[in-house]
Amino acid sequence: MTEPLTKVDSAVQGLENKITSPAKEKRRASSYAEGVMNIEELKTNRTPIEVAVETQRTGWKINCSSSTVEEKEILSKHLTEPPVKRIDLVTSLGMKITARSMKGVTIKDALDAIHKANKKRSDDELEKPYLAGFEWAANNPPAYMTKEEEIEKFKDDEWTVLHIVLQSTPTVGSSSGGGKKKKNKNKDAE
């Protein structure tokens, strides 16, 4: 009965090597897309951000799902150029909403984040319920700012955010009226 237990030994065997070996830092390649930037890196490098123009013609109501957008193909476009993993969206009242995607925040990601914050609000609670687009204010400091220090502080504060611009009536792009024209063309063809 003085024999060592082999099952216990085999369970512990090799454990010392695992404890002493350094932990490997490994990133999953599938969750990272090439060319997608961190917003803080853009701020540090002073890389300007361009907002997708397609956001200005969605005709989307902020308390409705993004699936109600008429032009579905714009939902898959990146919200900004260069694409970012995360960006804060700020309302006129100062509420901050964060949109995230490791493969680059798309217009759909932004609309879904805004919808999540507003889905329980009824239509009569919303003074301006329709999205007019987004504004990156870092490159447009207010005219009253004249001192270089004020302008730089403003840019630092605004570099990582987009302002949500709302309006009281929906704006729909020229192609949304095209749906009716296509139906008319189909009727003419029959």
Tokens of 76: 């898959």
Which residues constitute the domain of residue 84? 32-173
Domain presence at residue 98 = yes
With b meaning 16 or more CB within 10 Å and e meaning fewer, what string describes 125-144?
eeeebbbbbbbbbbeebeee
Whether 60 has a pLDDT exceeding 90, the answer reads: yes
How far is it, in rounded angstroms, from Cα 133 to Cα 25? 40
Over the stretch 137-188, which tens digit does the pLDDT of each residue have?
A: 888 888 898 899 999 999 999 999 999 999 988 876 533 333 333 334 444 4
- Domain annotation covers residue 145: yes
Average pLDDT, the chain: 80
64 lies in a domain? yes
Residue pLDDT, tens place only, 101-145: 999 999 999 999 999 999 898 888 888 999 999 999 888 888 898
User: What SS3 state is found at 59?
Assistant: coil
Length of the chain: 190
CA distance 2 to 66: 71
pTM: 0.72
Residue 52 within any structural domain of the chain: yes
Nearest alpha carbon to residue 103 among 48, 41, 37, 52: 37
- Could you tell me if residue 37 is inside a domain? yes
Q: What is the number of structural domains in the chain?
A: 1
